[in-house]
Amino acid sequence: MLFPFLVSLVGLFFLLANAIRFYTTCKNRDILYRIITAYLVLLFCVELLCNIIGFLYPNSNFFLSHYYFLFQFITLNLFFYKSFSNKRLKKIMIIVFVSVLLFLGFQYYNRPSLYWEFNLVEVTITSIPLLFYAFYFIVSNLKTDKHNYFYFCNGLIIYLTSSAGIFLSGNTDSVILTEPFLLDFWFFNSLFYILYQFLIYKEWKALNFRRKTKKNINEKFQ
């Protein structure tokens, strides 16, 4: 159990580093930058609690997954809503957003015990819209010179596809290896999460490089 836990801690460390990077550089930045900052900070808080509780009380941290997926769904919906200019798509986004929250609210009201379990329906209906928005964002911006947030969206697609696939396959408890260390599907989920955080770091680096370059050009011609 120790090795997969250490790998998950690496992902947590990368998440913390990215949250700090974005937070310390978010002053006077656009709304999209600030939304990603809030997204990273919120997810770090949830992931930290998840790792602490999971280490001290194994299999007792499932309830935190609801906060993870809801925080992710809410903040990234806002991110893509602010990114898109298509008014029809933005109306559809509002309808989907409200429908998902109402459905989940009714589901937990009707079955309170679900709060302490993994909710596969929640994983599905909060992940699929974000995947669609990320794909649309990339495709709709391919012909533009401004490629901000491409690393972020590509990382989101890779991570959501892999994690949702693992959760929905029902293999979250499957063990692949027992020697020389325990290796299960959570390990692969942690690896994809590390890749996602690496691409977020690449996004931060690219955004700040472009900002610094633009600032230097402006100062040169003043």
Question: 22 with 37: CB under 8 angstroms?
Answer: yes
Residues with Cβ within 8 Å of 127's Cβ and at least 6 positions away in sequence, in order, are: 69, 160, 163, 164
Distances in whole angstroms, Cα of residue 39 to Cα of each of 16, 51, 69, 78: 12, 18, 11, 10
Whether 187 has a pLDDT exceeding 90, the answer reads: no
**Residue of 210 and 53 predicted with greater confidence:** 53
**132-158 pLDDT tens trace:** 999 999 998 887 756 789 999 999 999
**99-129 pLDDT tens trace:** 999 999 999 999 999 999 888 899 999 999 9
